[in-house]
């Protein structure tokens, strides 16, 4: 039986893992390979590395990091952050990444989705979406540039478009829930899952085991992502998976 996936997200700045809230006050949190290996050992099903380096001059640093991670960690991992071209995809996939995530560049250049899917296969193309509820509560809008710009695009229509273009997976972050630890955004996630034929990873708001349970069952997300919850060891993946199994979910337990 296919299991639900638990995915830690590592923010990377200049080739190092960092911790911080909303990209402010970043603290060095260690070597990506060591941390990735630790998460692998702790039972993570996949990893996401998000490069948040401000400067766009650090392509080689990220490529190096991907190579080293791929040499040492043997579970699937996704790399995102500042990816703009098919060449970026090629470079990172060749370095050993399994999937590449694009966010703002997908909105600014939707053809990139189809191009990358054609050349490398949809399974390599993850479209990451930051969504925030509209003021009139009628739905959610897609935001880009680190959540700073409201594109005015409805999230459901954007999801459908990306899948039609060839996206293999959606990484959905709720801006309303992110950082609150009050739970994933179940209504948003449910709406997206209902309108999406590819797997959906829920992101933003995880605080307790029950939050994971809710988004994986009520919203039917295929996977749940969290960052600080795992980084600060507020929740251990092993405990999370055991509990979720007892609550009736299929999880990969070693």
Partner 1 sequence: MVAVIDYNAGNLKSVCNLLKKLQTDAVVVKDADSIRRADKVILPGVGAFGDAMTNLTQSGLIPVIGEVIAANKPFLGICVGLQLLFEGSEEDPDIAGLGILSGQIRKIPDGSQLKIPHMGWNNLKIKTGASLFQGIDNGAYVYFVHSYYPDVTDKDIVAATTEYGITLDVSIERGNLFGCQFHPEKSGDIGANIVQNFLDL
Q: Indicate whether 76 belongs to the interface with partner 1 (CB under 8 A).
A: yes
Q: Name the burial class of residue 174, with classes exposed (0-12), middle (13-18) and buried (19+) by CB atoms within 10 angstroms of its CB.
A: buried
For the chain, the straight-line distance linking the first and the last C-alpha, in angstroms and rounded, comes to: 15
Binding region for partner 1 (CB under 8 A) out of 56-64, 115-123, 133-141, 142-150: 115-123
252: DSSP letter? -
Using CB under 8 A, which of 36, 70, 159, 215 touches partner 1?
70
Output 15 or 199, the one with its CB closest to partner 1: 199
Minimal distance, residue 99 CB to partner 1, in Å: 9
CA distance 172 to 169: 10
**Nearer Cβ to partner 1, position 69 or 177?**
69
Pair of tokens at residue 17: 């893992």
C-alpha closest to that of 163 among 121, 103, 113, 223 = 113
Q: Residue 195 and residue 217: Cα distance in Å, rounded?
A: 16
Binding residue count for partner 1, defined by CB under 8 A = 29
* Smallest gap from residue 74 Cβ to partner 1 (A): 6
Q: By the criterion CB under 8 A, which residues form the site for partner 1?
A: 1-3, 5, 40, 45, 70-72, 74-76, 94-96, 98, 120-123, 168-169, 197-199, 222-223, 252, 254
């Amino acid at each position: 039986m296919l299991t639900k996936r638990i995915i830690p997200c590592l923010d990377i700045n200049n080739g190092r893992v960092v911790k911080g809230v909303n990209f402010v006050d970043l603290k060095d949190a260690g070597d990506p390979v060591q941390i990735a290996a630790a998460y692998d050992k702790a039972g993570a099903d996949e990893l996401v590395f998000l490069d948040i380096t401000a400067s766009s001059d650090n392509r080689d640093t990220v490529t190096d990091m991907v190579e080293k991670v791929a040499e040492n960690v043997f579970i699937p991992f996704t790399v995102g952050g500042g990816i703009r071209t098919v060449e970026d995809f090629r470079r990172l996939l060749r370095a050993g990444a399994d999937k590449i995530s694009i966010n703002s560049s997908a909105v600014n250049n939707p053809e990139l989705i189809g191009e990358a899917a054609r050349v490398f296969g949809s399974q390599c193309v993850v479209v990451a979406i930051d969504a925030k509820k509209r003021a009139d509560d009628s739905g959610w809008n897609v935001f880009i540039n680190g959540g700073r710009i409201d594109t005015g695009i409805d999230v459901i229509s954007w999801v459908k478009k990306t899948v039609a273009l060839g996206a293999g997976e959606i990484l959905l972050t709720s801006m309303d829930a992110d950082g609150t630890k009050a739970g994933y955004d179940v209504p948003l996630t449910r709406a997206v899952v209902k309108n999406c034929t590819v797997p959906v990873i829920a992101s933003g708001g995880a605080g307790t085991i029950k939050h994971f349970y809710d988004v994986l069952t009520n919203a039917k997300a295929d996977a749940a992502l969290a960052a600080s919850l795992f980084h600060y060891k507020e929740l251990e993946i092993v405990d999370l998976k055991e509990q979720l199994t007892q609550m009736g979910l299929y999880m990969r337990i070693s």
